[in-house]
Amino acid sequence: MIIERYDRAGWLAARRVNHRIGGTSAAAVLGVNKWRSAWDEYNERILGQTVEHDDATLRRFALGHRMEPVVLATYEDETGECYEHCDDLLIIHPEHPWAVASPDAISPDLDAPAGGVEAKISDRHSSWDKQGGELASVDDYHEALFPRQYAIQCYWYLECSGLPWWDLVALVGHDLIIYRIRRDPDFQSRLLARVGEWRERHLVQGEAPPIDGSDGAARYLLDRKPTEDAREASVDEAAMVEEWRVHKATIKAGEVEVKRLSNLLGAALGEHRKLTLPDGSRVQRVDVGGRSRLNTKQIEEDHPGLLATYTEQGAASWHLRSYGESK
């Protein structure tokens, strides 16, 4: 197993050398990473666009990083094993050095039966089967066990390291959940080939990915501003516009129906706050207070220029508007 060690700055830089792909990026390329898309990878690496996250998401990322030692220590207490915590370490694939792993921990004695550990924290109880267990192959995985992106991440690390198993360890609420994921050479080979093909085409050769519904694709199009006014739509474009209009109308009609059914259920609840359904799920009325609003006009009158001093420009965006269609 090829291991490279760095200081923090060196580690951050080394992850992007030669368009390297780690487990998080592999999941993004495959479209299963909740926080990143394939377009985010392209925009960041090829166009230099930084992916912006809101404050809540950034706090979640920071908390997850801070909690890793706690999760690993709890895991060690649970298993009775000791592991090397790996803050600034990369494992390099022996045949494809662009494929790398950034483990949270690995067995200190790699000559003995050894494995790696990926530590997570989550407050999404419904995304995890708290029984834990073992995946002898990818065929044992289904989405009710844990999020798909973590399965891809662990299989990617197994491929890069050659280790026989990787433990996915999650602290979900007060529950420590452990899944041992065994090597699946056939799946790992297909995973490596698919991600490698994407990397070669879109990072090495620089071809833009296919347009999809991701925010990353929308950010890419934001910088490609129109320079001409209008032209005739092709047959395919006209069909696409019609489909887009149908979906927009369906969404609007659905929103109206949701409001109607919400009011009917609210009336049916009467003096009760919750309804329990035959499958054990529940519907609950939640009362929300009115939003506080700043009187910006009064602030500007009392303190001219103060709002401008403390106002930040939000991210630019674009959208389509439809008009002139026949009813």
223-257 burial code (b ≥16 CB/10 A, e <16): eeeeeeeeeeeeeeeeeeeeeeeeeeeeeeeeeee
Residue holding tokens 């924290």? 121
Bridge partners for 166 per DSSP: 116, 181
What's the whole-model pTM score? 0.82
Give pLDDT, residue 310: 84
Is 33 exposed, middle or buried, given 0-12, 13-18 or 19+ CB atoms closer than 10 A? buried
Q: Predicted confidence band at 91 (pLDDT cuts at 50, 70, 90)?
A: very high
Q: What is the mean pLDDT of residues 91-113?
A: 85
Residue ranges of alpha helices (H) inside the chain are: 8-14, 23-29, 38-46, 55-79, 148-161, 185-199, 215-222, 235-269, 296-302, 306-309
Is 127 within 8 Å of 146 (Cβ atoms)?
yes
Give pLDDT, residue 9: 85
Domains of the chain with bracketed CATH: 2-220 (3.90.320.10)
Dihedral class, residue 80 (left if φ above 0, else alpha if ψ from -120 to 50, else beta): left
Dihedral class, residue 83 (left if φ above 0, else alpha if ψ from -120 to 50, else beta): beta
Give pLDDT, residue 327: 55
Question: Going edge to edge, which strands form the sheet with 2-5?
Answer: 2-5, 89-92, 100-101
